[in-house]
Amino acid sequence: AQSVTQLDSQVPVFEEAPVELRCNYSSSVSVYLFWYVQYPNQGLQLLLKYLSGSTLVESINGFEAEFNKSQTSFHLRKPSVHISDTAEYFCAVRSNTGRRALTFGSGTRLQVQP
């Protein structure tokens, strides 16, 4: 069984400030890790993923996340946020063998203020 914890339900931040959205997971098997973003009135979109290899993964719009196996974390960071980054962010895990279902955290609402 797997579980994902996103401790912060809301993160308010000013435009151009750095941000970190925290994600911790628990699993009895090795996992793949994902961050999804949900903009208002839109479906979930994959932001970035960790499958194997380098523990630091990046998205095309400046977000990055680092897989830390010892701390079972996959925190999402951006050095300078924009108003357009306002959205709900979901961390998710999936077993790397067998079961293909994603297990999601409860989400973090990033609110970027001018």
- Per CB under 8 A, the list member of 29, 51, 56, 83 interacting with other proteins is 51
Q: Check residue 24 for interaction with other proteins (CB under 8 A).
A: no
Tokens standing for residue 2: 């797997």
CB of 25 to other proteins, least distance (A): 12
Q: Check residue 47 for interaction with other proteins (CB under 8 A).
A: no
Indicate the DSSP class of residue 41.
T
CA distance 102 to 33: 9
CB nearer to other proteins: give 52 or 70.
52
- Per CB under 8 A, the list member of 40, 43, 53, 114 interacting with other proteins is 43
CA distance 45 to 40: 12
Tokens standing for residue 11: 């993160």
Site for other proteins in 52-91 (CB under 8 A): 90
Residues touching other proteins: how many (CB under 8 A)? Answer: 25
CB 41 within 8 A of CB 27: no
CB 87 within 8 A of CB 13: no
Give residues in contact with other proteins (CB under 8 A). 4, 6, 9, 32, 36, 41-46, 49, 51, 90, 92, 94, 99-107
